[in-house]
């Protein structure tokens, strides 16, 4: 089958390379599509992308966060090896991407982005001739995975961090019309399935809107003559827990509710013999090599995924999340799926037979210790193979800023290794995590006294929860309780000395307390971490004018 398909696609490429269109529907669970067996609601337009296509029944992302998952998709590398494991960790310059490879082979490349998490400054624009992402969030906080507005407003939420899928699709359709007859690679990103919902009261209602949006796009592809001659890939970067295992959204755990994703590859007309459904487990890391294989373009050596057109399918599927570690200091989670069995490495390991237990409700680790040991050994081999080359990226603190922090009494810790088993199991910290999420809701609703009470309770019970303490300091700052804000933020800075948010807020607290020299030091350090932050620069200039020379 593979030889025949390659011959047909290669012959077609001699006349004109097949267009490639990749559509990513952020936060879309595979089991919510009727094509994947959902019965409560039909998704006819999304399902229609499976026409003359292969639907991969058991596809999974590498990590349940937007930027790291897309970085893995387009570089065909795992988050653990490329070090892009949080939303605020940019793709480094010089990365080899699918867009870059296709551009080298004569393709016009364009991307239309719906969320700040994939904005241009995050580095995924590499290889694209046009990268339409009208956002301006230049200030990053890897500790929490947040991004902040860098414009004139002092409110980090003063501009939109997303745009509607209909707007994204309209722009993409116009771009296709302007490049008809050319070899094109188009990437379209939709964010409508991500909270907060804009077109429905719940997940399924929102999905109905997305289904209509995809239907409009599909019709445009058909009318424009693109559908029959293009390779069209429909996928999601991760799913959504929707309360499964106690998780409301995604990023914390690595169960199938957030790791299993839809994947459909529509083949150009004339491609014979492709299976309608493929049950073998595959990963999003395999998508880029598959596209290149179908186009008869060699995959670069840095691509670690495997073409799904090959006779031998990937032997295992790897997954991870280090968000609980980065945000709260708890254990990272990593998984390996081999056939029907999925092993999760954690302080209390987990083993599931996904064929018999797709909801991962019955942990077999205690009953099948031999399989646990075998899969743990395989995971260790995978981790060893994927180990990043060279040292960890240097902190974005300059030597001057590091010295400045030292003069203020803060010492930056060295790089840490996120090792499973040496830290609390995220499963055992769900009560703490839910309390933190409840406090976040109160902050979002501007119920600051209640949020402060919840955060105080949290840090009293769990004094090492640095993220909760930072939020508590920020809430005190908004309430003009500057002394308390300084106290909490100073403790945070001991654990996270290069966190922009902490430095900036501590500078403000000191400024309003009349501690101008301390404010100056903190704001200088904050601007050193985030040199593009307009509010930080403005505040720093104001303090400099007030500080009397010695």
| CATH 3.40.720.10 domain extents, the chain | 2-312
Alpha helices in 89-160, H assignment, sequence order? 98-104
Provide the percentage of residues in the chain whose pLDDT is more than 70. Answer: 86
Contacts 24+ apart (CB under 8 A), 203-206: 203/29, 203/32, 203/240, 203/242, 204/32, 204/40, 204/41
The predicted structure's pLDDT at residue 536: 87
The predicted structure's pLDDT at residue 397: 39
Pairwise CA distance, residues 168 & 66, whole Å: 17
Q: What is the pLDDT of residues 169-202, one digit of tens each?
A: 999 999 999 999 899 999 999 999 998 888 878 9
Pairwise CA distance, residues 278 & 467, whole Å: 42
Indicate the SS3 state at residue 45: helix
Pairwise CA distance, residues 335 & 346, whole Å: 9
Considering the entire predicted model, what is its pTM? 0.86
Query: Which residue ranges in the chain fall short of pLDDT 50?
Result: 3, 7-14, 149, 152-159, 393-417
Measure Cα distances from 260 to 28, 43, 56, 319, 373 in Å.
9, 18, 11, 10, 24
The predicted structure's pLDDT at residue 138: 55
Structure letter (DSSP) for residue 162: B
Pairwise CA distance, residues 226 & 224, whole Å: 5
Is domain 399-546 annotated with CATH 1.25.40.10? yes
Rounded to the nearest 10 degrees, what angle do helices 466-478 and 500-512 cross at? 30
The predicted structure's pLDDT at residue 155: 38
Indicate the SS3 state at residue 189: strand
The predicted structure's pLDDT at residue 231: 97
| CATH 1.25.40.10 domain extents, the chain | 399-546
- CATH H-level, domain 2-312: superfamily: Alkaline Phosphatase, subunit A (3.40.720.10)
């Amino acid at each position: 089958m593979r030889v025949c398909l390659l011959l047909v696609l290669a012959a077609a490429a001699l006349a004109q390379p097949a267009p490639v269109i990749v559509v990513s529907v952020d936060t879309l669970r595979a089991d919510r599509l009727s094509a994947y067996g959902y019965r409560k609601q039909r998704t006819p337009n999304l399902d229609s992308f499976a026409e003359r296509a292969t639907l991969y029944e058991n596809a999974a992302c590498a990590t349940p966060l937007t930027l790291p998952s897309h970085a893995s998709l387009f570089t065909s590398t795992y988050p653990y090896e490329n070090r892009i494991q949080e939303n605020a960790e940019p793709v480094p310059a010089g990365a080899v991407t699918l867009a870059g490879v296709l551009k080298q082979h004569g393709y016009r490349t364009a991307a239309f982005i719906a969320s700040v998490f994939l904005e241009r400054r995050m580095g995924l624009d590499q290889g694209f001739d046009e990268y339409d992402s009208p956002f301006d969030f230049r200030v990053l906080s890897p500790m929490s995975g947040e991004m902040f507005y860098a414009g004139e407003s002092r409110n980090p939420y003063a501009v939109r961090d997303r745009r509607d899928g209909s707007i994204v699709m309209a722009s993409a359709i116009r771009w296709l019309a302007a490049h008809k007859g050319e070899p094109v690679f188009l990437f379209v990103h939709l964010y409508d399935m991500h909270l907060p919902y804009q077109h429905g009261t719940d997940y399924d209602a929102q999905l109905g809107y997305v289904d209509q949006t995809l239907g409009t796009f599909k019709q445009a592809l058909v009318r424009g003559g693109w559908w029959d001659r293009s390779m069209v890939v429909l996928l999601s970067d991760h799913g959504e827990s929707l309360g499964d295992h106690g998780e409301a959204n995604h990023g914390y755990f690595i169960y199938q509710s957030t790791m299993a994703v839809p994947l459909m590859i529509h083949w150009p007309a004339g491609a014979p013999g492709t299976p309608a459904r493929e049950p073998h487990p595959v990963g999003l890391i395999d998508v880029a090599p598959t596209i290149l294989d179908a186009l008869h373009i060699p995959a670069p050596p840095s691509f670690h995924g495997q073409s799904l057109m090959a006779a031998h399918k990937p032997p295992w599927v790897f997954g991870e999340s280090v968000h609980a570690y980065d945000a709260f200091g708890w254990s990272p989670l990593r998984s390996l799926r081999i056939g029907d069995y999925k092993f999760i490495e954690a302080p209390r390991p987990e083993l599931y037979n996904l064929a018999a237990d797709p909801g991962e409700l019955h942990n077999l680790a205690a009953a099948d210790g031999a399989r646990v040991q075998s899969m743990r050994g395989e995971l260790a081999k995978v981790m060893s193979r994927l180990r990043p080359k060279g040292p960890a990226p240097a902190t974005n603190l300059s030597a001057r800023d590091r010295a400045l922090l030292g003069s203020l009494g803060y010492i930056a810790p060295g790089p840490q290794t996120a090792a499973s088993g040496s830290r609390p199991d995220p499963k055992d910290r769900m009560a703490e995590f839910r309390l933190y999420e409840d406090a976040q809701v109160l902050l979002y609703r501007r119920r600051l006294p209640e949020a402060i009470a919840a955060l105080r309770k949290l840090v009293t019970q769990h004094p090492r929860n640095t993220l909760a303490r930072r939020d508590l300091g920020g809430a005190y700052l908004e309430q003009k309780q500057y002394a308390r804000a300084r106290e909490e933020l100073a403790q945070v800075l001991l654990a996270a000395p290069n966190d922009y948010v902490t430095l900036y807020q501590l500078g403000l607290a000191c400024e309003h307390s009349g501690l101008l020299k301390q404010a100056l030091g903190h704001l200088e350090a904050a601007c050193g971490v985030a040199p593009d932050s307009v509010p930080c620069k403005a505040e720093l200039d104001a303090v400099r004018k007030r500080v009397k020379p010695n």
